[in-house]
Amino acid sequence: MTLKIAIAEDNSFLAKSVIEKLSFFNDLDYKFKGNNGAELIGKLEVNHNIDVILMDIQMPEMDGITATEIVKSKYPHIKIIMLTVFDDDENIFNAIKAGANGYLLKEIDAENLHKCILEVVSGGAPMTPSIALKTLNLLRNPFTIENSSEAEKLTLTNRETDILEQLSKGLNYNEIADNLIISPSTVRKHIENIYKKLQVHNKMEAVIMAQKHKLI
Protein backbone atom coordinates (compact mmCIF):
# COMPACT_ATOMS: atom_id res chain seq x y z
CA MET A 1 0.00 0.00 0.00
CA THR A 2 1.26 3.46 -0.91
CA LEU A 3 0.74 6.12 1.77
CA LYS A 4 -0.18 9.62 0.67
CA ILE A 5 1.75 12.34 2.54
CA ALA A 6 1.18 16.10 2.88
CA ILE A 7 3.46 18.63 4.58
CA ALA A 8 2.84 21.92 6.40
CA GLU A 9 6.11 23.89 6.52
CA ASP A 10 6.85 27.57 5.92
CA ASN A 11 10.61 27.13 5.43
CA SER A 12 11.18 26.06 1.84
CA PHE A 13 14.66 24.65 2.53
CA LEU A 14 13.43 22.44 5.37
CA ALA A 15 10.39 21.37 3.34
CA LYS A 16 12.67 20.36 0.46
CA SER A 17 14.79 18.32 2.89
CA VAL A 18 11.71 16.44 4.18
CA ILE A 19 10.41 15.81 0.65
CA GLU A 20 13.82 14.40 -0.31
CA LYS A 21 13.71 12.02 2.68
CA LEU A 22 10.26 10.82 1.60
CA SER A 23 11.44 10.23 -1.97
CA PHE A 24 13.72 7.38 -0.88
CA PHE A 25 10.72 5.10 -0.25
CA ASN A 26 8.40 3.65 -2.89
CA ASP A 27 5.55 3.21 -0.39
CA LEU A 28 5.40 6.97 0.38
CA ASP A 29 3.75 9.30 -2.10
CA TYR A 30 4.28 13.02 -1.40
CA LYS A 31 1.16 14.92 -2.55
CA PHE A 32 1.40 18.60 -1.59
CA LYS A 33 2.69 21.22 0.85
CA GLY A 34 1.07 24.12 2.66
CA ASN A 35 3.22 27.11 3.66
CA ASN A 36 1.08 27.49 6.78
CA GLY A 37 -1.86 25.80 8.48
CA ALA A 38 -4.48 27.79 6.61
CA GLU A 39 -2.99 26.98 3.20
CA LEU A 40 -2.75 23.29 4.10
CA ILE A 41 -6.41 23.19 5.15
CA GLY A 42 -7.38 24.92 1.90
CA LYS A 43 -5.58 22.22 -0.08
CA LEU A 44 -7.20 19.48 2.00
CA GLU A 45 -10.62 20.86 1.04
CA VAL A 46 -9.69 20.10 -2.58
CA ASN A 47 -8.07 16.74 -1.80
CA HIS A 48 -8.35 15.18 1.65
CA ASN A 49 -7.38 11.73 0.41
CA ILE A 50 -4.27 11.95 2.58
CA ASP A 51 -2.96 9.38 5.06
CA VAL A 52 -0.37 11.36 7.01
CA ILE A 53 0.46 15.05 7.49
CA LEU A 54 3.92 16.11 8.66
CA MET A 55 3.13 19.33 10.54
CA ASP A 56 5.45 22.12 11.61
CA ILE A 57 4.44 24.10 14.71
CA GLN A 58 5.53 27.71 14.23
CA MET A 59 4.11 29.03 10.95
CA PRO A 60 2.66 32.41 9.91
CA GLU A 61 -1.12 32.97 9.56
CA MET A 62 -2.01 29.69 11.26
CA ASP A 63 0.33 27.63 13.46
CA GLY A 64 0.56 23.85 13.36
CA ILE A 65 -1.24 23.21 16.63
CA THR A 66 -4.31 25.21 15.55
CA ALA A 67 -4.20 23.50 12.15
CA THR A 68 -3.96 20.07 13.81
CA GLU A 69 -7.10 20.73 15.85
CA ILE A 70 -9.03 21.81 12.72
CA VAL A 71 -7.79 18.93 10.55
CA LYS A 72 -8.65 16.39 13.25
CA SER A 73 -12.20 17.75 13.58
CA LYS A 74 -12.81 17.77 9.79
CA TYR A 75 -10.76 14.77 8.65
CA PRO A 76 -10.31 12.42 11.64
CA HIS A 77 -8.91 9.67 9.40
CA ILE A 78 -5.74 11.67 8.72
CA LYS A 79 -2.81 10.93 11.01
CA ILE A 80 -0.73 13.95 12.03
CA ILE A 81 2.92 13.84 13.05
CA MET A 82 4.39 17.07 14.43
CA LEU A 83 7.78 17.43 12.72
CA THR A 84 9.48 20.40 14.34
CA VAL A 85 12.56 21.89 15.98
CA PHE A 86 10.47 22.81 19.04
CA ASP A 87 10.52 20.32 21.92
CA ASP A 88 9.44 22.50 24.84
CA ASP A 89 6.83 21.19 27.26
CA GLU A 90 4.06 23.60 26.25
CA ASN A 91 4.23 22.71 22.56
CA ILE A 92 4.26 18.97 23.29
CA PHE A 93 1.27 19.26 25.63
CA ASN A 94 -0.73 21.48 23.26
CA ALA A 95 0.03 19.27 20.24
CA ILE A 96 -1.18 16.16 22.08
CA LYS A 97 -4.29 18.03 23.25
CA ALA A 98 -4.98 19.12 19.65
CA GLY A 99 -4.92 15.49 18.50
CA ALA A 100 -1.41 14.95 17.14
CA ASN A 101 -0.59 11.26 16.65
CA GLY A 102 3.19 11.63 16.89
CA TYR A 103 5.92 14.17 17.64
CA LEU A 104 9.34 14.08 15.96
CA LEU A 105 12.28 16.46 15.71
CA LYS A 106 13.35 17.58 12.24
CA GLU A 107 16.84 16.16 12.71
CA ILE A 108 15.35 12.66 12.22
CA ASP A 109 16.95 10.69 9.39
CA ALA A 110 15.05 9.34 6.40
CA GLU A 111 14.96 5.71 7.56
CA ASN A 112 13.54 6.56 10.99
CA LEU A 113 11.05 9.02 9.51
CA HIS A 114 9.79 6.25 7.21
CA LYS A 115 9.53 3.83 10.14
CA CYS A 116 7.58 6.39 12.20
CA ILE A 117 5.14 7.08 9.35
CA LEU A 118 4.43 3.34 9.05
CA GLU A 119 4.05 3.16 12.83
CA VAL A 120 1.51 5.99 13.03
CA VAL A 121 -0.60 4.48 10.23
CA SER A 122 -0.61 1.19 12.16
CA GLY A 123 -2.07 2.93 15.18
CA GLY A 124 1.15 3.81 17.00
CA ALA A 125 2.27 7.13 18.45
CA PRO A 126 5.87 7.64 17.29
CA MET A 127 7.99 10.10 19.27
CA THR A 128 11.63 11.10 19.25
CA PRO A 129 13.11 9.55 22.45
CA SER A 130 13.73 12.96 24.07
CA ILE A 131 10.10 13.92 23.34
CA ALA A 132 8.82 10.66 24.82
CA LEU A 133 10.76 11.37 28.01
CA LYS A 134 9.36 14.89 28.22
CA THR A 135 5.85 13.51 27.66
CA LEU A 136 6.27 11.09 30.57
CA ASN A 137 7.48 13.95 32.74
CA LEU A 138 4.44 16.02 31.74
CA LEU A 139 2.14 13.16 32.75
CA ARG A 140 3.93 12.83 36.08
CA ASN A 141 3.91 16.58 36.75
CA PRO A 142 0.81 18.02 35.02
CA PHE A 143 0.71 21.04 37.34
CA THR A 144 3.89 22.40 35.77
CA ILE A 145 2.37 22.63 32.28
CA GLU A 146 0.11 25.62 32.72
CA ASN A 147 2.93 28.01 33.54
CA SER A 148 5.57 26.53 31.27
CA SER A 149 5.34 29.34 28.72
CA GLU A 150 6.02 31.92 31.43
CA ALA A 151 8.88 29.91 32.87
CA GLU A 152 10.72 29.25 29.63
CA LYS A 153 11.27 32.63 28.03
CA LEU A 154 14.26 32.47 25.73
CA THR A 155 16.98 35.02 26.43
CA LEU A 156 20.42 35.53 24.91
CA THR A 157 23.31 37.73 26.02
CA ASN A 158 24.25 40.72 23.86
CA ARG A 159 27.33 38.86 22.61
CA GLU A 160 25.28 35.76 21.73
CA THR A 161 22.83 37.94 19.85
CA ASP A 162 25.70 39.56 17.93
CA ILE A 163 27.08 36.16 16.96
CA LEU A 164 23.66 34.85 15.95
CA GLU A 165 23.10 37.86 13.70
CA GLN A 166 26.44 37.16 12.02
CA LEU A 167 25.49 33.48 11.62
CA SER A 168 22.22 34.51 9.97
CA LYS A 169 24.28 36.29 7.29
CA GLY A 170 26.03 33.02 6.45
CA LEU A 171 29.41 33.95 7.97
CA ASN A 172 31.75 31.24 9.28
CA TYR A 173 33.47 31.14 12.68
CA ASN A 174 36.65 32.88 11.48
CA GLU A 175 34.74 35.69 9.77
CA ILE A 176 32.60 36.24 12.86
CA ALA A 177 35.72 36.27 15.03
CA ASP A 178 37.34 38.92 12.79
CA ASN A 179 34.21 41.10 12.77
CA LEU A 180 33.73 40.96 16.55
CA ILE A 181 37.48 41.04 17.36
CA ILE A 182 37.40 37.79 19.34
CA SER A 183 39.01 34.38 18.82
CA PRO A 184 37.36 31.61 16.75
CA SER A 185 37.38 29.37 19.84
CA THR A 186 35.39 32.02 21.74
CA VAL A 187 32.90 32.17 18.87
CA ARG A 188 32.59 28.37 19.00
CA LYS A 189 31.94 28.43 22.74
CA HIS A 190 29.25 31.10 22.39
CA ILE A 191 27.57 29.09 19.62
CA GLU A 192 27.55 25.97 21.83
CA ASN A 193 25.78 28.02 24.52
CA ILE A 194 23.30 29.36 21.95
CA TYR A 195 22.46 25.81 20.80
CA LYS A 196 21.84 24.73 24.42
CA LYS A 197 19.60 27.72 25.17
CA LEU A 198 17.57 27.39 21.98
CA GLN A 199 17.56 23.57 22.12
CA VAL A 200 18.75 23.26 18.52
CA HIS A 201 21.44 21.25 16.79
CA ASN A 202 22.80 23.35 13.92
CA LYS A 203 23.18 26.90 12.60
CA MET A 204 20.05 26.86 10.48
CA GLU A 205 17.82 25.70 13.34
CA ALA A 206 19.40 28.32 15.64
CA VAL A 207 18.66 31.15 13.19
CA ILE A 208 15.10 29.95 12.54
CA MET A 209 14.38 29.60 16.26
CA ALA A 210 15.86 33.04 17.05
CA GLN A 211 13.84 34.71 14.27
CA LYS A 212 10.60 33.07 15.39
CA HIS A 213 11.18 34.23 18.95
CA LYS A 214 12.23 37.69 17.72
CA LEU A 215 15.70 37.38 19.27
CA ILE A 216 17.32 38.73 16.09
List pLDDT tens digits, range 54-70.
999 989 889 999 999 99
Instruction: Put the strands of the sheet holding 28-34 in their side by side order.
Output: 28-34, 3-8, 52-55, 79-84, 102-105
The Cα–Cα gap between 195 and 201 comes to 6
Report yes or no: 68 and 82 within 8 Å, Cβ to Cβ.
Answer: yes
The set of residues, in sequence order, having a beta carbon less than 8 Å from that of 13 and lying 6+ positions away, is 204
User: Higher model confidence: residue 195 or residue 117?
Assistant: 117
With beta carbons less than 8 A apart as the criterion, state whether 80 and 99 touch.
yes
pLDDT band with cut points at 50, 70 and 90 for residue 150: very low
Cα 131–Cα 132–Cα 138 angle in degrees, nearest 5: 90
DSSP string, 100-114: -SEEEETT--HHHHH
Question: Each residue of 182-201: pLDDT tens digit?
Answer: 999 999 999 988 988 888 88
In this prediction the pTM is 0.66
31 exposure class (CB count in 10 Å sphere: 0-12, 13-18, 19+): middle
